[in-house]
Structure 1
Amino acid sequence: MCEYCYESAMLYFVASGRRHGIYSRFAYLEEADDLKTEIEQLEDPNNPEPLIDLAFCRLYDHYLTYGFDAGLFNTLQNKFGQEAMQAYLAKRQACHNDLFRAELSRIKLLTNAAQWGRFMADQERMHNHALELLNSYYDWWVLGIGKEKEKRKPNSIDENLLFPDELMTASAEWDKFHALYPALFFSLSYLINHHCDSDIIRKIALTNLKDGADIWTKDLWLQRRAMINCVKRDGYSLIVDNLSQIRYELIYYVLLKVTINLAELSVLKATILSEQSDRLTGTVEREYIFELMDQLAA
């Protein structure tokens, strides 16, 4: 399954509330409203390993949005187990970037209310670190500036014929991205909760990845969260004014998540209808968006 197929599974879950197989657990963890219950009912939580990354990301976001919650941390620890938890924290300690590295690798930060309070008290430092991390991510991962590439390794003779000289993101760069991701998610959640007008949030929302997305769509998740923040702040005019830059998947997702009135719905539909170019990336066609719009208008 490709990364955009996983995103499609997420959209199906958000739109219908119905689950679509064990391989869509990433979508459930990302989007479930009741995080505690979602973690408790995970099957085989440590396979695949990145599930724990998403669980911690949701935990960080919960702490930043609602405050310290040792009970939620205990739920996560009981489900994934001590060994997986220690491995996750060790990876944070080994991350190449030192911004938030020490804090996000300390278990006591998430289990001790006083330590969490002291961590959150230094707002200027947190703001500066979050901006530095996300601006670096935007240049490197989203725009591809300085990102190392390597020749595609075909899985078959047919693939070799189809993609003889295709360059892909180097495996070392993927390792760097995965190691850094929890800090990136933490940084974005921090800005959304404390500095929602930050320009970097808008840039992440409106800029599509230059290269292929993560197979588990973790980078697309950052974009979706950034877009929701921007539309809640600026309204649907943000999409109307920047339509050519915005994937249909994002528009569909925002319509599911952010209330829209009939006037906004009419303007958005007319703008999409007037668009000349065909969309080639992703899994959502504009007819799906129109069907959803009709449901919202009913």
Structure 2
Amino acid sequence: MNLGFFLTFTYINTFKMENIIQTSNLNFHYSKHKSIIENLSINVPKGSIYGFLGPNGAGKSTTMRLLTGIIPDDKNAIKIFGSELNEQIPFIFSKIGALVESPALYLHLSGYNNLLYIAKVKNINPDKIDEVLELVELTYAKNQKAKQYSLGMKQRLAIAMALLGEPELLFLDEPVNGLDPNGIVEIRKLLIKINKEKGVTIFVSSHLLSEIEKMCTHIGIIAKGKLKFEGTMNQLSTSFNTCKIEITIDNASDWQKKLNENGVKTQLNEANKIAVLLNTKEEIPTFIKKLINEGALLYEVKILEGLEEWFMNLIEN
């Protein structure tokens, strides 16, 4: 047997990424005339941090409730761990953790006793509590009542409750909502840590694009109940064949008019700032040189790219 072929074959099979969540033409509507989710087909790779993005009212929370069984899936369009979700309820809840609604904490109890209550309800070994508290960095406050916790600490305690059963899959709906910048960074670092150290697949919805960009390996973008994009961050960046720049220039409104007359697509962002759409980045030097030769007073040239820019392009179009 060719050893080289065997090693290659083993490597490919070992690292082939399977999907832990799959939906096939998932639909949901509260009334006949108002569709919330329309033909939604998503694929969440095992071991990923999957960011689920969309504007308010796009259907993110409804999708999360369908995936966690809070809202029944009548058409069996959802598969988790390779099997239909409906076939696995309620046993599947031992393999998933979820923070979909606001954290349900017992404020009169300590952080430790909140977790002890969950352990007893779910028949989980209480020995896991200290391990989870250490993971979310709340060991120092485990005997402190939850009502004395900051918002960020309460959020970490809620995540600890979701992690207590050692889930393979974690659902989080807007986990940094209402947190200050320091709290947001803490939650982001925690989720990356859980993903890398514990191998937990994380499905997270959020409207904070900068955090998703720093944290997620894969993203899905939804607007008006329809999927607009799914893939890696790199795939998203390469899917845009144009280049958008912002120039800070004197007499911006006059220059915008001249550029539009010459067939250049522009948008006046604010005083002295124009967004200009070019075909490629390679066109930037020639474009800027031409402006200067025509007497333009330029102060700054900024390439507009990144998740926020791509996101806005997708949902607007």
TM-score with structure 2 length normalisation? 0.33
TM-score (norm 1): 0.34
Q: Which has the higher strand share?
A: 2
Larger Rg: 2
